[in-house]
A and B are shown apart, each in its own frame.
Chain A
Amino acid sequence: MSEFSEDRSITVSIDHLSKTYPVPFLRLKKFFRRKFKPPVEALRDVSFQIREGEIFGLIGPNGAGKTTLTKIIATLIQPTSGEVAVRGNDTVRDDAQVRRDIGLASAEERSFYWRLTAEQNLLFFARLYGLSGPEAKRRIKTSFEMFELEELARRRFAELSTGNKQRLAVARAMLAKPPVLLLDEPTRSLDPIAAARLRSTISSLARASDSRVTIFLTSHNLAEVEELCDRVAIIGKGQIRALDTPHNLRATHTRNEEVSIIFSPDVADSVNLALRQTFTDQSFTLERASHDQRWLLKFSREAEDETLDKVLSVLHQSRAIVRTIETKRATLLEVLEQYDESERDTRGRRN
């Protein structure tokens, strides 16, 4: 996670944003008595702010409104009501200025010209950004170095692997050095090593001391969101259900954590007896961990309470040697699943 501070200036401001996709040619359809589907409410009263240098994650199930929100920030779709401002510029009234300030990298492979090389593609977009020839070439060279694409510069886009196409999309988004970067599943098709490298690049962009980039990231890879994002919003049915740091979201979801302790030598009976005597209302599972007299003790506790300390005392008194301790808190996936389930329950009750 980047070093994110509350006192930084607001870069993206979303204020009571709603978007309902209208029914195309509604009057005509009504006039000719044609059937039509009801308007789709994609976003409802969404409000939050993203600060300079923050990596902000947006997660939610398919159809939750992530793409609509990203495209409204990118000026590609107009909201029905509410406002979005990027560095103080309204995305509807000052759309050209907003586009100067943002770069968008999506996982869409068809967003490049397949007959052109990687370099020719970037040169075309650099010209659209208004970069002069030498400046464009310099930036393209830097981007290729940053994303390790130098050897592929003269290859046709069609010949690149899916992962390299995706890296090129991020490189293109960074061409004009925008202060705001919108990343739509940036590591979706990358191999684990390439994904880790890209995450490291994303993180360093937000941390750069000279020009911090504000990053808005949507992803289905929740581990990635947890690793990268300063704050995460959970969106469902067009509404923001929760917004906080990944740590706080997990803590809000459940205070409990699972603890696993592996100990040796074979003193399981005495440990079991001592635990029963010490804890009257706590359940433990004790099972053989491996063939070399190691045992696995599992229990759950409320985060940061004294149970772990007491269990360690018991083990020590029973002459057990603790080999490893692992604690596991709820993941963002579990948090998301909880919101998804509650949404389905609400829908079920309505039906």
Chain B
Amino acid sequence: MVLLSRIWAFVARDWLVTVSYRMQFFLRVLSVLIAVTTLFFISKIFVGFTDVRFAEWRDPLAAWLTGLAVLNYFMTGFSSLANAIRQEQMQGTLESVLMTPISVPTVVVASSAWDFVEATFFSLLYLIFGWLFFDVHYRGSALLALVFLLLTTLVLSCLGILSASFAMVFKRGDPFGILLGTGSALFSGVFFPTQLINQHAGSGVASISKILPPTYGLDGIRRVLIEGQGFSQVHEPFVTLLAFLAVLLPFSLWVFGRAVRRAKREGSLIQY
């Protein structure tokens, strides 16, 4: 209950900061609409050209919109956690936040809460604009898709915690963010089927997509939302994501604990 009220405090704070920049908010909404419209016209080029092997890509607009919506969410799961401490450090507010009876892990989670709210809004916006203006239809279980979304976000949050530990100790932006961001866009099947990598770049390069959690998340969500598959058909990416989580969660928490202790020992926790 106390944790929830603290998370709420951060969400309320960030909401107030966001509404103080109203124009920026509306410009972001507009940019999503422009992106969806652009993708709609590009998708018209491919009408009738879709390879039958890629069932999820029969309607490329639906595939791109789910890809972008989900990538937006995944990246928030990763980068928001990684940047939470860093942002407070740079603003100079970390000291005053840490003077309250709140633990460092709570600060990390609560500082990211608003980003998740915002990401949910903008991710939904991709899907809603597609449905509202461009006749994109989704089928299958929304609940199952949500489970995939949460699971993949949790896995990426573990990487985010590792990145936050890095930023806390080295006082530098996260190097994992750049790799994971560009890597996911290229190798996880956001814009094209991952099978094409194997076909054109060889199995060595294609194996990169296999070690990226978003590949499994996106695959699962698309199969559920676009092809309408049930849990028995998508259990493989689901189990892989669970395995990622089982390894990364304890490891990232252990590394984070050590990073906090180190920063307190060195007296650098509140420095940037």
- Chain A positions within 8 Å of B, measured between CB atoms, are 19, 21-22, 24, 68, 71, 74-78, 80, 96-97, 99-100, 102-104, 106, 108-113, 115-116, 120, 123-125, 127-130, 172, 176
Tell me which residues across on chain A come within 8 A of B10, comparing CB atoms: 124
**What does the 1/0 interface line of B6-18 toward A look like (CB < 8 Å)?**
1011101100110
**When A77-B264, A124-B12 are in contact, do A110 and B92 touch as well, CB less than 8 Å?**
yes
B93 at the interface (CB under 8 A from A): yes
Complex CA–CA separation, A19 to B16 (angstroms): 40
**When A110-B91, A127-B5 are in contact, do A76 and B270 touch as well, CB less than 8 Å?**
yes
Contact A22 B265 (CB under 8 A): yes
Task: Give chain B nearest CB distance to A83 CB in angstroms.
Answer: 15
Q: Choose one: A109, A120, A176; the contact of B16 (CB below 8 Å).
A: A120
A-B complex: 6 closest residue pairs judged by Cβ atoms: A110-B92, A127-B9, A128-B100, A111-B96, A77-B267, A78-B264
Contact A108 B100 (CB under 8 A): no
Contact B93 A113 (CB under 8 A): yes
Task: Give chain A nearest CB distance to B50 CB in angstroms.
Answer: 48
Tell me which residues across on chain B come within 8 A of A104, comparing CB atoms: 95-96, 99
Name 16 interchain pairs, CB-CB below 8 A, sorted by A: A22-B265, A22-B266, A24-B266, A77-B267, A77-B269, A96-B103, A100-B101, A106-B95, A110-B92, A111-B92, A115-B20, A116-B13, A116-B17, A128-B101, A129-B100, A129-B101
Q: Choose one: A76, A113, A120, A130; the contact of B2 (CB below 8 Å).
A: A130
Task: Give chain B nearest CB distance to A339 CB in angstroms.
Answer: 25
Complex CA–CA separation, A100 to B2 (angstroms): 14
Which chain A residue shows the least CB distance to B98? A76
Between A and B, how many residue pairs show CB distances below 8 Å? 92
Tell me which residues across on chain B come within 8 A of A129, comparing CB atoms: 100-101
Tell me which residues across on chain A come within 8 A of B264, comparing CB atoms: 76-78
Which chain B residue shows the least CB distance to A136? B9
Among A108, A116, A128, chain B packs the most CB atoms within 10 A around the CB of A128
Q: A22-B265, A115-B16, A125-B100 are in contact. List 15 more A-B contacts (CB 8 A).
A: A22-B266, A76-B95, A76-B270, A80-B265, A99-B99, A99-B100, A103-B99, A104-B96, A113-B17, A115-B17, A120-B16, A125-B96, A127-B8, A129-B100, A130-B6
| Residues 253-272 of B contacting A (Cβ, < 8 Å) | 261, 264-270
Q: Is the interface of A mostly helix, strand, loop or mixed?
A: mixed
Tell me which residues across on chain A come within 8 A of B9, comparing CB atoms: 124, 127-128
**When A96-B101, A100-B101 are in contact, do A112 and B93 touch as well, CB less than 8 Å?**
yes
Q: How large is the interface on B (under 10, 10 to 19, 20 to 34, 35 or more residues)?
A: 20 to 34
B247 at the interface (CB under 8 A from A): no
Q: Choose one: B16, B267, B270; the contact of A116 (CB below 8 Å).
A: B16
Complex CA–CA separation, A108 to B20 (angstroms): 23
Task: Give chain B nearest CB distance to A100 CB in angstroms.
Answer: 5
Q: Choose one: B101, B261, B265, B267; the contact of A99 (CB below 8 Å).
A: B101
- Chain B positions within 8 Å of A, measured between CB atoms, are 2, 5-6, 8-10, 12-13, 16-17, 20-21, 91-93, 95-103, 261, 264-270
Task: Give chain A nearest CB distance to B220 CB in angstroms.
Answer: 37
Tell me which residues across on chain B come within 8 A of A123, comparing CB atoms: 12
Task: Give chain B nearest CB distance to A7 CB in angstroms.
Answer: 30
Which chain B residue shows the least CB distance to A21? B267
Contact B266 A113 (CB under 8 A): no
Task: Give chain B nearest CB distance to A90 CB in angstroms.
Answer: 14
Among A22, A76, A80, A106, chain B packs the most CB atoms within 10 A around the CB of A76
Contact B93 A111 (CB under 8 A): yes
Complex CA–CA separation, A97 to B103 (angstroms): 11
Among B92, B101, B265, chain A packs the most CB atoms within 10 A around the CB of B101
Complex CA–CA separation, A128 to B95 (angstroms): 13
Tell me which residues across on chain A come within 8 A of B93, comparing CB atoms: 110-113
Task: Give chain B nearest CB distance to A29 CB in angstroms.
Answer: 14
**When A22-B265, A110-B92 are in contact, do A127 and B6 touch as well, CB less than 8 Å?**
yes
Complex CA–CA separation, A125 to B21 (angstroms): 22
Contact B13 A124 (CB under 8 A): yes
Task: Give chain A nearest CB distance to B92 CB in angstroms.
Answer: 3
Q: Choose one: B92, B98, B267, B269; the contact of A108 (CB below 8 Å).
A: B92
Tell me which residues across on chain B come within 8 A of A106, comparing CB atoms: 95
Contact B103 A128 (CB under 8 A): no
Complex CA–CA separation, A109 to B93 (angstroms): 9
Which chain A residue shows the least CB distance to B7? A127
Tell me which residues across on chain B come within 8 A of A124, comparing CB atoms: 9-10, 12-13
Complex CA–CA separation, A75 to B100 (angstroms): 10
Task: Give chain B nearest CB distance to A242 CB in angstroms.
Answer: 26
Complex CA–CA separation, A19 to B267 (angstroms): 10
Which chain A residue shows the least CB distance to B267? A77
Complex CA–CA separation, A110 to B89 (angstroms): 10
Tell me which residues across on chain A come within 8 A of B5, comparing CB atoms: 127, 130
Which chain B residue shows the least CB distance to A24? B266
Complex CA–CA separation, A110 to B269 (angstroms): 16
Task: Give chain A nearest CB distance to B34 CB in angstroms.
Answer: 27
Tell me which residues across on chain B come within 8 A of A172, comparing CB atoms: 96
